[in-house]
Amino acid sequence: MRAAIFIDGAYLLSLAKKHNLVPKYDELADYLLKPLRKSIQLDLLRCYFYYCAPWMSTEPTDSEKRRMEDHMLFMEEISSIERWAVRLGKLQRRWDGYKEYFEQKRVDVLLSVDMVRHAASGHIEHVIIVAGDSDFIPAIESTKDSGATVSLWCGEDNTIHKDLLETVDIIHRFDWKKVPRQKIKTDRKAKHDELIKQQLKKIQETTKSNITDLGRNRRNRG
């Protein structure tokens, strides 16, 4: 039997940062598959990592250039792992009056399409997803309708939508003492953390903006 892993990169990295570690990515797939492999023989089709490049202005600043260089090195590291593939979305700049914010685009759609496509084509019998967003629920339901079993890996309750927990077949919680981690120098870790901090800040700004827009629309309807 075969499985595929689908990782929401921003979600995984936000959890890892919270627990002060950098995952050892070349061992992460085996860690995620280990519970299922206790009861069935399971091969990995592919591990997909969904992420978003940092924002670059028309005339990039030195800081933006450094962030992009770090991002490219990170993506090269992920892409070089056997049976791993990177899927990149895009940060788009938006304006709310005079307030600038950034919106992550395509990431959720890319993950959902890949998951449904592989399950519907019969390429896989098991799906492992690392995510916390309820936007994945329709894709998970469609994947289950195709006959695949869906396992969710997630963090603490406050990092995941409760409806997502009710939709999947199996739930696994990260044990951060056992998650494979890199032994890296302090300066490299600081650079990695700064890159993740900038990326998460953009995504959080998008989330806050969406919540504000939702509240404004409700008031207008009222």
Tell me the per-residue pLDDT of 56-107, one tens digit each, with 9 for 90 and over: 778 888 988 898 999 999 999 999 999 999 999 887 777 777 777 767 778 8
- Classified as helix, coil or strand, 53 is coil
pLDDT under 70: residue ranges of the chain: 102, 184-222
Residue 102 three-state SS: strand
Q: How far apart are CA 94 and CA 103, in angstroms?
A: 7
Query: Which amino acid would we find at residue 63?
Result: S
Give the angle 185-13-18 at the CA atoms, nearest 5°.
Answer: 80
CA distance 44 to 34: 11
pTM: 0.80
Domains and CATH numbers, the chain: 2-221 (3.40.50.1010)
| CA–CA gap between residue 90 and residue 92 (Å, rounded) | 6
